Every structure is written in C-alpha cells, then in structure tokens.
Amino acid sequence: MSDFRICAIELDELTVVRRTREIEQEREIAIYDLLEANTFKPLESKGGPYKVVLSVEDNRLVFEVRRENDSEDCRVQLSLSPLRKIIKDYFLICESYFKAIRYAPPSQIETLDMSRRGVHNEGSEILKENLDGKIEVDFDTARRLFTLVCVLHLKG
C-alpha cells in the first residue's frame, strides 16, 4: 500500500446543518470508499499516510494534512469560487433524483442518475485541476473528495 494515501478523514462540522438521510449516506459511502483506495500526494511532502481534516474557512476549502502519527504535514487552501456553480447544479440534480426514486418511472430515474454522475464527474475534474500543483490525486480520489466538499457546502 502506498504511503501517499489518506488513512483517516474528517469533516469540520462545527456549524453543520441537519442532513437528509440520503446526504448522510452519500457522506458515509464517500468516506468508506476513499479510505479503501485513494491516491493523495501533497507536493513537498515526504510521505504519509495522512490524516486529513476538510473544512471551509472564509470562502476557502481547507485541507489540514497531518501524518499518521499526528505530526503536521501541510495546510492547503483552495478558493471555493470555481466550485460554487457545479455544487449548486449537483444539489439540484440530486434533489430531483431522490424525489424521482420514490415516484418516477425507471427511465426517468436512469436519465437523472446519468445527469447526476455527469455533473459529479465535472465537479471532480474541477477539484482535481484546482489541487494541481498542491496535492496530486487520482480521479477516483477527486470524486470522493468532491462528494465530501458538497457535504461541507451544506454548512453555508
């Protein structure tokens, strides 16, 4: 197993709002999948594994990165501005998708699910591009991190 990976992750949830069951399930799955397999390599770091705390401060996404032994590694901040529209679009599609699951025909559910995945992939690419030069991640890691960024976005 690579040393350049996340071994623990938490969300700074000091001001979290109440989440729906669906959002909480998405968070739990993203964390589980992320910890099972990820590539996370802060540039300038000598290696992990890493404990990461994700938070939002002053319109910035913050990655507080520590080594497995809790020694400090780095702190990376990204502007949330490039992600705001895609996060909003993602939540709108998710809301429609979760409503459709209860009442819509399978063809409509499938169409909404494809749209949801497409927007999620787009957000993941944007996050990956914004991390470029700061933290190297693979696409699957970016997807799971994007899910967690969306969950954090509920705070505002």
Structure confidence at residue 14 (pLDDT)? 67
Nearest CA to 30 out of 104, 141, 138 is that of 141
Q: Is the pLDDT of residue 1 over 60?
A: no
Arithmetic mean of pLDDT, 127-137: 96
Q: What is the pTM of this model?
A: 0.89
Which residues are CB-contacts of 97 (< 8 A; sequence separation ≥ 6)? 109, 112, 113, 115, 116
Rounded CA separation 35/32 (Å)? 5
What is the share, in percent, of the chain residues with pLDDT greater than 70?
93
Q: Which residue has the tokens 């990461």?
A: 52
Q: Kindly list the distances between the CA atom of residue 24 and the CA atoms of 94, 132, 152, in Å, as whole numbers in the listed order.
A: 13, 29, 11
Per the structure block, which two tokens stand in for 53? 């705390």
